Amino acid sequence: MNGKRVLVTGGAGFIGSNLANHLTESNDVIALDNGYLGTEENLNNEVEFVDVSVLDEDLPVDVDVVFHLAALSSYVMHEANPQQGTHINVKGFVNVVEQARKQGCETVVYASTSSVYGNRTEPSPENMDVQANTGYEASKLARERYAEYYSNFHDITCAGMRFFSVYQGYGGSEAHKGEYANVVAQFADSLANGEAPILYGDGTQTRDCIHVRDIVRGLEIAADEHLDGIYNLGTGESYSFNTIVELLNNELGTDIEPEYTENPIPEDVYVHDTMADITKMTTGTDWEPQIDFEEGIRLVTDEYQPESLGT
């Protein structure tokens, strides 16, 4: 993407700031964020930061492309306040897209979620039947239907990207998420600090983990190629929590056993296993994941190595 005026909502958050910082290399980028899950410190000086909510009026939407990433991004956040979750994830989406549409924007790329697939040890294609088991999933499915409306009725290309388990580690922009950070980052930080990582159940649950750099590339390609509809962004490979801890121990040179605890999330809504079918994205575009999980583990643990710590 070159020479575009771009808006990234949730632009100071984990994925949003990585995207905004990358796009500033050749674009005029506005990062919109209210600071709930993001911080301006994640952004480089080339990004224009605007501290507002996606629910506000008069948003800075005179742009060529909208990347709508702002959301309450977990089951826990939604169940604590379903009304707030609906306002931000659904009303906020419509508010941003409607204002942008009226300013002439015709390209929207937005965050959906792989959680709608439920428990899957086989690759999940975009055209399989899905259902909402949580308020979070319902809000993301609502986004997808509103995006369908904007595509069909207003002829705007709306690419909904179903993210799988996105990670970077606390050496990047993920640290601000704290307890909501990806398990790879949380486990790595615990081990590096001599603490046992906390695993729900027996640690056999699996995740399709994708590095944020590959997510950023996928988002940019979705905008460049004016994709419309739903696309998975994952790797097609899954690793158990036990395996993730083992790989992290090996890379860090530690030997710390995880601590297993009862899962506080009800079994009927907890997503135990995920795996992406990325055929649609890899055959329809020139995107494919470039960072395999072993390399990703090294990238996450680099900040804890002696040369990074200055020792």
Distance of alpha carbon 258 from alpha carbon 277, whole angstroms: 30
Distance of alpha carbon 63 from alpha carbon 60, whole angstroms: 8
* Percent helix / strand / coil, the chain, rounded to 5: 40, 20, 40
CA dihedral angle for residue 241, residue 283, residue 161, residue 57, rounded to 10 degrees:
160
In contact, 31 and 17? CB cutoff 8 Å: yes
Grouping H, G, I as helix, E, B as strand and the rest as coil, residue 202 is: coil
Q: Is 136 marked active-site?
A: yes
Q: From the candidates 117, 136, 167, 239, which is the catalytic residue?
A: 136
| DSSP labels, 97-122 | HHHHHHTT--EEEEEEEGGGG-S-SS
The catalytic residue positions are 136
